[in-house]
Structure 1
Amino acid sequence: MSFNTTYNNIEFVLEDGTAILTFNRPDSLNSFNAEMHAEVRAALKEVKKNPDVRALVITGNGRGFCAGQDLSDRNVAPGTEAPNLGESIEKNYNPMIRSIRALEMPVICAVNGVAAGAGANIALACDIVFAAKSAKFIQAFCKIGLIPDSGGTWTLPHSVGQARAMALSMLGDRVSAEDAEKMGMIWKAVEDETVKDTAIATAKELATQPTKGLALIKRAIQASAINTLDQQLDLERDLQTIAGRTDDYREGVAAFMAKRQPSFKGQ
């Protein structure tokens, strides 16, 4: 099954069990306007319901990954009524982050250029992040009097620690891809010309693996951020019970015993 919908602000294709969602407003560094939000929501719904999709790649076209919100889409002129930014977050960014985190498949991000504001935090919401060595991560919210949103106040301290998260959020410093890797903010910094291919190849490889089990790994690792050890041990028990009853577990053991390559179905 392929995707047939035509979008104005994103590209969306299916290759070898992998959906590739590409932000496509390069003239504005792929910043979000209302139409782009609606298109990304539709694409993520398609990913969730399409049985042929077993992994997702998120990336961008042009020299930026995503510069966050397009401020011209909600410009605040002097003397006008202040916008309700919380309402915008509740309608647009929070559902996107929740969808990415909850997808029962690997979500791979290829940060091809600058990732600023919400763009940085969309990347951090993904499971595995590759970044071009020229890419920069910027918590730019403080420069316009705002706080990090799109999950940034959760993902950033959980990945780099509270001290670094506080400084990055208050100073708005640019973080290079290589420094982001050293901090544990992302998985790997790679050469610019290979970042998208690397992410897509990784996603396609994961799509051939026991994706039900990978989804359970994702669920367990996410829960560890708030669970006590006892709660996590109980969760591991419960999720392993589910994993042990999958066809992929049976196939994995059978292939191991027969010394052959397994054929996983994600079931």
Structure 2
Amino acid sequence: MTSTQQADYVTTVDGVLLITVATAAHGTSMDFAGINVGTAALRALGAEVGAVLLRGTGSNFCAGGDVRGFAAAQDRSAHIHGLATDLHEFVRALDATTVPVLAAVQGWAAGAGMSLVCLADIAVGGPGTKLRPAYPGIALSPDGGMSWTLPRLVGAGRARDILLTDAVLDADEALRLGILSKLVADEKVADETLRLARTFAAGPHSTYASIKSLLRQSDSTTLSDQLDRERESIAAAANTPAGREGVNAFAEKRKPDYTGLA
């Protein structure tokens, strides 16, 4: 893939790494050219990037896997194994990022597309947004981490219900469950998500990294141990350039400028 072709899938705008996970050319199913280029970009993430934004460039965020491609494969098991391997490397790279991850969820997010929405720190949808696991419909099991992320978002019982019944979640229900973070007009989903991502990119990167780290650790620790981590984290933050700028700006009654600060 040439650098021009790569730029069709991955580009950086105002400190935001934009990754295209589905395209109209692929019928809005997951586009693995974007997934694989995205994995490489996430692993090479530099300090200049302050947020990651996942998007689809068609009418849907991502309508799931290319089921026609599954059907056409000579060895379906090997074909899907390879796709899941690539997708899961992307998921691992996404999960390892210390910056906020956002998803602009227009239209459908189904199958692995829904899995990616569940991985985002902030997911913005519109009234027309719909989510569906879609795995039971083709007699396959979840991938992309959905069996891990969904119970943590909605609770184990609700996750069982959604996955086993192949529930279609409308935008209001997805917002109520916490899968979507906010709703805007359908035509504003892309712009509003980019606006939020730019806000994060201009903010205190070290603070966001600390928040994500503490939240990740809280899944498997006691309250007492988490309190110790919080104490050490906030004390360390006070001596970072961003921490000093934030406190000084508050005391001086001015807007903080985190440009170039860790």
User: TM-score, structure 1 length as denominator?
Assistant: 0.88
Assess if the C-alpha contact under 8 Å between 2:22 and 2:30 holds in 1. no
1:56 maps to 2:41: no
Partner of 1:130, secondary structure, is: strand
Q: Could you tell me how far apart the structure 2 residues matched to 1:111 and 1:86 are?
A: 25
- Give the 3 Å change call, closer, same or farther, for CA 5–231 of structure 1 in structure 2: farther
Q: Could you tell me how far apart the structure 2 residues matched to 1:238 and 1:89 are?
A: 41
- Give the 3 Å change call, closer, same or farther, for CA 226–86 of structure 1 in structure 2: farther
- Give the 3 Å change call, closer, same or farther, for CA 82–260 of structure 1 in structure 2: closer
1:13 maps to 2:7: no
Offset of 1:8 from its aligned partner?
6.5
Equivalences for 1:113-152 in 2 at 5 Å?
113-152=107-146
State the match for 1:169 in structure 2: 163
- Give the 3 Å change call, closer, same or farther, for CA 85–11 of structure 1 in structure 2: closer
Amino acid in the other structure paired with 2:30: F
Offset of 1:6 from its aligned partner?
2.0
State the match for 1:31 in structure 2: 29
Amino acid in the other structure paired with 2:121: D
State the match for 1:245 in structure 2: 239
Offset of 1:66 from its aligned partner?
0.7
Task: Give the aligned CA root-mean-square deviation in angstroms.
Answer: 2.3
State the match for 1:257 in structure 2: 251
Offset of 1:244 from its aligned partner?
2.6
Q: Could you tell me how far apart the structure 1 residues matched to 2:71 and 2:261 are?
A: 46
Assess if the C-alpha contact under 8 Å between 1:133 and 1:190 holds in 2. yes
State the match for 1:68 in structure 2: 64
Q: Could you tell me how far apart the structure 1 residues matched to 2:134 and 2:173 are?
A: 17
Structure that is richer in helix per residue:
2
Provide, for residues 158-208 of structure 1, a one-character-per-residue CA deviation record: whole Å limited to 9, x for no partner.
Answer: 111112111110111210111100112221122101111111111111111
Q: Could you tell me how far apart the structure 2 residues matched to 1:253 and 1:10 are?
A: 40
State the match for 2:215 in structure 1: 221
Amino acid in the other structure paired with 1:219: S
Offset of 1:128 from its aligned partner?
0.5
Partner of 1:108, secondary structure, is: strand
Q: Could you tell me how far apart the structure 1 residues matched to 2:80 and 2:10 are?
A: 28
User: What runs of 5+ residues in structure 1 fail to find an aligned partner?
Assistant: none
Offset of 1:242 from its aligned partner?
3.3
Provide, for residues 52-79 of structure 1, a one-character-per-residue CA deviation record: whole Å limited to 9, x for no partner.
Answer: 21112111112111122212333367xx
Q: Could you tell me how far apart the structure 2 residues matched to 1:119 and 1:9 are?
A: 21
